[in-house]
Amino acid sequence: MKKMERNDRELIGRGQGSGQLVLLRYSGDVTTKATPTRRRFVQRMARNVKDALRSVGVVHTLTRTHTRIFVELAEDADGRGLDALARVFGVQSLAPVVERAWQSLDDVVAAGVELFADTVRDKSFAVRARRVGDRRQIPVRSDDVQRSLGALLAPHARCVRLDDPEVTVAVELMPGRAFFFRESVPAHAGLPLGCEGRAVALVSGGFDSPVAAWLMMKRGVSLDYVFCNLGGRAHQLETLRVMKVIADRWSYGTRPHFHAIDFDDVTRELQAKVTTRYWQIVLKRLMVRAAEAVVAERDALAIVTGEAVGQVSSQTLPNLAVISAASRLPILRPLVGFNKQEIIDLSRQIGTHDLSAKVGEYCAMVPSKPATRATLARIEAEEADIDPNVLERAIAERSVFDLRTLDLESLDRSDIQTERIPQGAIVIDLRSKAAFEGWHYPDALFLDFQTAMRSYPQFDREQHFVLYCEFGLKSGHLAERMRAEGIQASHFAGGFKALIAWARRQGVATPES
């Protein structure tokens, strides 16, 4: 977003230096709605604005009107508040403003000269004025304000230039109040996030799926994310970092969850039962079914993917039709007509580009001669021998992260990692109940991750706790939180596989043995 210039920051407050007063304009998607719908959308947008400012630690007060939202920021010297406001969907543009009371044209013009005489000095300028709200209660015309204020500012300036001036003097008139500012800062418009319900997005961490998620959020759809993990801990951590950016920068007013499903056994089953050239299509259908299961649990209405027609072999139109048939839910593909470069350019704007560029592509499931015109009958025949319990078990054993509260830095802290279980330590298994019952370290306690995150402050501070999970991500997050509370905690950084290896060295019976 465009940063505020110093002069913009000087024109702030209600004329008394009480703080920054920021005017937010509604997008056309909001203003064109019928009154009840518009009221609902504006209420939702106000809620999201408050969450945005709380998230960046800016104290504020908010006033909502039929035509505008006004936010007074107690202090925003570094621009965090303005940057966050520009990322609230449903906001068309925003501007720091100075408010003045007025009764006549002379009042408006006098205030404008007071505020802008020094600003336009020796520069080209233009005056833009508009009336907002019930114009019957605004007894002056916009043209009159522009001509009168422009005439009195002209002696201070180098010249009047209506096209591309160096300084734009802007005035918005409401009944009894005038708001003065320089150029507006464009925001991203769209619909307030959350006003169009919830969907579940399939994500991989590359360029496409985060951009697809962002575009759906711009249309008011709040999202949860399903990640079908093909590449182990590194792939999951890379994707978490990408989606954490989407959650922290763009998900104001919502609490997106990241559902990580270990697809290792699923891909083994697929490779054993399916003809090689159909691997990619069947894999995508299994991912769609995984997303469908999460949709049912999260009261969502659709599945979102980052597919674009013809981008890769599995995304030809015939193959997309076959993939769509895997679910009865609508599958939304906001990138369907995008070129790759357009997607990459959007990822830079969103803030995910650099992280997505580091995410490696999992190549083991890419056949040398993939099918490009699969038929539903052939794919269903290929799937007939796949054991459905393998996918069901993977879904049941998935890890779920609250992205807004997740501390990624804790996942790589060496001081809370361990490669052994000390004598007398209490071992906690954070995997699913089904995984725990399949095998767990002797005498380990089962505690699902969400329950553990709520209850750890009550743990005994005299005890030493060792945590483990699938990849060492949930356990690292919880161990860091426990340490912050003064609880002795460490975790197996390599996750379940590292624990199995250590247990085998100690002579403990493991699943393989």
Question: In CATH terms, is domain 408-505 a member of 3.40.50.620?
Answer: no
Question: What integer pLDDT is reported at residue 473 of this predicted model?
Answer: 81
Q: Which CATH architecture has domain 6-186?
A: 2-Layer Sandwich (3.30)
- Helix segments in 251-387, DSSP class H: 264-273, 279-297, 317-324, 340-350, 353-357, 376-383
The DSSP secondary structure of 101-144, one letter per residue, reads E-SSHHHHHHHHHHHHTTTTBTSEEEEEEEE-S-GGG--S-HHH
Angstrom distances, CA of residue 457 to CA of 402, 421, 425, 486: 18, 22, 18, 9
**Catalytic residue flag (residue 159):** no
Please answer whether residues 313 and 280 qualify as being in contact, where contact means their C-beta atoms are separated by less than 8 angstroms: yes
- CA–CA distance, 342 with 335 (Å, rounded to integer): 10
Question: What integer pLDDT is reported at residue 364 of this predicted model?
Answer: 59
Question: What integer pLDDT is reported at residue 14 of this predicted model?
Answer: 43
- CA–CA distance, 207 with 214 (Å, rounded to integer): 11
Q: What distance, in Å, lies between the first and last C-alpha atoms of the chain? A: 58
Angstrom distances, CA of residue 478 to CA of 296, 407, 507: 27, 10, 28
- The residues pairing with 198 across neighbouring beta strands, listed in sequence order, are 222
DSSP secondary-structure letter at 56?
A: T
3-state SS, residue 92: strand
Question: 10-residue block means of pLDDT along the chain (513 residues)?
Answer: 35 51 96 94 97 95 93 87 96 96 96 96 96 89 96 96 95 95 93 97 95 98 96 86 97 96 92 94 97 95 96 92 97 96 97 90 71 95 96 91 86 83 93 87 90 89 92 85 90 88 88 64
Catalytic residue among 195, 228, 363, 469: 469
Question: What integer pLDDT is reported at residue 101 of this predicted model?
Answer: 96
- CA–CA distance, 259 with 84 (Å, rounded to integer): 26
Can you say whether residue 427 is alpha, beta or left, with left for phi > 0 and alpha for psi between -120 and 50 degrees?
A: beta
Residue recorded with tokens 């959308």: 41
- Helix segments in 191-339, DSSP class H: 208-218, 232-250, 264-273, 279-297, 317-324
DSSP secondary-structure letter at 154?
A: G
Residues in the chain: 513
The answer for residues whose C-beta is within 8 angstroms of residue 55's C-beta and 6 or more apart is 84, 248, 252
Question: What integer pLDDT is reported at residue 300 of this predicted model?
Answer: 96
Question: What integer pLDDT is reported at residue 210 of this predicted model?
Answer: 97
Which backbone phi and psi does 352 adopt, to 5 degrees?
-105, -5
Question: What integer pLDDT is reported at residue 13 of this predicted model?
Answer: 39
Domain boundaries, the chain: 6-186, 198-402, 408-505
Question: What integer pLDDT is reported at residue 476 of this predicted model?
Answer: 85
Range 451-457 contact pairs with CB under 8 angstroms and sequence separation of 24 or more:
452/428, 452/478, 453/478, 453/481, 456/481, 456/482, 456/485, 456/487, 457/485
Q: How far is CA 228 from the centre of its chain?
A: 19
Q: Which CATH number fits domain 198-402: 3.60.130.10, 3.90.1300.10, 3.40.50.620, 3.20.20.10?
A: 3.40.50.620
Question: What integer pLDDT is reported at residue 134 of this predicted model?
Answer: 84
Pairing of strands 399-402, 257-262: antiparallel
- CA–CA distance, 165 with 116 (Å, rounded to integer): 14
Buried b (16+ CB within 10 A) or exposed e, 20-44: bbbbbbbbebbeebeeeeeeebbeb
Shortest CA distance to 240 belongs to which of 474, 494, 480, 489? 474
Question: What integer pLDDT is reported at residue 3 of this predicted model?
Answer: 37
| Side-chain-facing half-sphere of 218: CA atoms under 13 Å | 18
What would you measure as the largest C-alpha separation in the chain, in angstroms?
91
Angstrom distances, CA of residue 302 to CA of 195, 288, 319: 15, 11, 19
The amino acid present at 110, given as its one-letter code, is A
Angstrom distances, CA of residue 355 to CA of 71, 75, 260, 413, 433: 33, 31, 18, 20, 33
Question: What integer pLDDT is reported at residue 435 of this predicted model?
Answer: 84
Which backbone phi and psi does 177 adopt, to 5 degrees?
-135, 140
Please answer whether residues 260 and 204 qualify as being in contact, where contact means their C-beta atoms are separated by less than 8 angstroms: no
